[in-house]
Amino acid sequence: MTDLFAKIKEVTELDGISAHEGQVRDYLRQKITPLVDRVETDGLGGIFGIKESSAAQAPKILVAAHMDEVGFMLTEIKTDGTLRAVDIGGWNPLVISSQRFCLYTRQGRKIPLISGSVPPHLLSKKGGNGLPEIADLIFDAGFTSQTEAQDFGLTPGDMIVPDSSAILTANQKHIISKAWDNRYGVLMVTELLESLKHDKLNSTLIAGANVQEEVGLRGAHASTTKYDPDIFFAVDCSPAGDIYGDQGKIGDGTLIRFYDPGHLMLPNMRDFLLTTAEEAGIKYQFYAGKGGTDAGVAHLKNSGVPSTTIGVCARYVHSHQTLYSMDDFLEAQAFLQALVKKLDRSTLDLIKNN
């Protein structure tokens, strides 16, 4: 087992959907506290380590992952003991049925359950696409009645999370796991702070992770308002389109995400990214996103914050089994380190010179 795979296995096997990020927050607090001057949280539960700079007019860099993964939340216990749930984050209905999940009760008890196979009469839907409604899907823990489920501590609002463990592919180049979106970002933050623990920076670094990204980029509102950064780097994972003839190929390096529906990269930011990548010998690929990241919120806050996303791509995101490249993580980490080390007041002024 390689050291990197062991770290990825540890972080992806943590459980935490939006608003239930406690396991991931505890992990981050433990990892980053020895590496920074102080650790702070915002009112929604985002956690950040602050590494102060003594440089004159040091700009503030906010580097933010997000802690949450996609999952479900218990909404109803039926009289027969089966469960109904609401999706937390985006799910393709075709990947949900007949999968293992875990439910966490208020008392912290971990309950195994499965998603039921959908009966044929639920497969017809207005519009004729044949997909089931997620609200119609049955979750089943084997309870015989509503009372029995309640006796085990189940309550509406409980977290339901995919049950999946990380494994290496046969060629040892890729990993299959849940939650690389966005435990990738969480590991990026801890590895960044570890690499910089003895460095004197020309900027104040604020690095950590937001909550509730998967339900509308909510945590980024809180953290960007709290810290009022001069520049913002989201660290997030995007869907790979390589096997579908689209952009984003695993193994081809970090992403230069120049466009998504909620964010357009500033030309001077693109120049900064490309120049830094070329100087540092970073392997990169261009990427136009179909969805958004926390950069979409951050760049509109306060008086406007130059923002971008330092990312990698992965196949089959938002499911139990995501496949991705370890080499891409290493390229993205080297890229983020180079960017943070290079940033000072004069470089920021060039980025903001519109």
pLDDT in tens, 184-206: 999 999 999 999 999 999 999 99
The predicted structure's pLDDT at residue 121: 59
For the chain, the domains span: 3-69+178-352, 71-162
Q: Is 198 marked within a binding site?
A: no
Q: Is 214 annotated as a binding residue?
A: yes
At 120, the pLDDT band (50, 70, 90 cuts) reads: low
In whole angstroms, what is the distance from residue 232 CA to residue 61 CA? 6
pTM: 0.94
Q: pLDDT tens digits for 18-51?
A: 999 999 999 999 999 999 999 999 999 999 999 9
Annotate 131-190 with DSSP letters as a single string. PPPGGG--EE---SSHHHHHHTT--TT-EEEE----EE-TTSSEEEES-HHHHHHHHHHH
Phi, psi of 80, deg, nearest 5: -85, 0
Instruction: Judge: domain 71-162, CATH 2.40.30.40.
Output: yes
Do 134 and 125 meet the contact criterion of CB atoms below 8 Å apart?
no
Written out in words, the top-level CATH class of the domain with range 3-69+178-352 is: alpha beta
Catalytic residue among 69, 213, 278, 279: 213
Residues facing 209 on adjacent strands: 47, 65
- Where helices occur in the chain by DSSP H, the ranges are 3-12, 22-32, 146-151, 180-195, 218-227, 267-280, 295-298, 326-342, 345-352
| DSSP code of residue 17 | B
Residue 310 three-state SS:
strand
What is the predicted pLDDT for the residue at 142? 97
How far apart CA 330 and CA 307 sit, in angstroms, is 22
Q: What's the rounded Cα separation, in Å, for the pair 299 and 264? A: 9
Q: Is 221 assigned a ligand-binding role in the annotation? A: no
CB 259 within 8 A of CB 315: no
Q: Is 140 exposed, middle or buried (0-12, 13-18, 19+ CB in 10 A)?
A: middle
CB atoms within 10 A of CB 116: 17
pLDDT bracket for residue 134 (50, 70, 90): confident
pLDDT in tens, 69-89: 999 999 999 999 999 999 999
* Whether residue 52 lies in the annotated active site: no
Helix (H, G, I), strand (E, B) or coil at 48: strand
236 is in an annotated binding site: yes
Query: Is pLDDT above 60 for 129?
Result: no
First and final CA of the chain: distance in angstroms?
A: 48
> Exposed e or buried b for every residue in 70-108, given b needs 16+ CB within 10 A?
bbbbbeebeeebbbbbebbbebebeebeebebbbbeeee
CB 341 within 8 A of CB 315: no
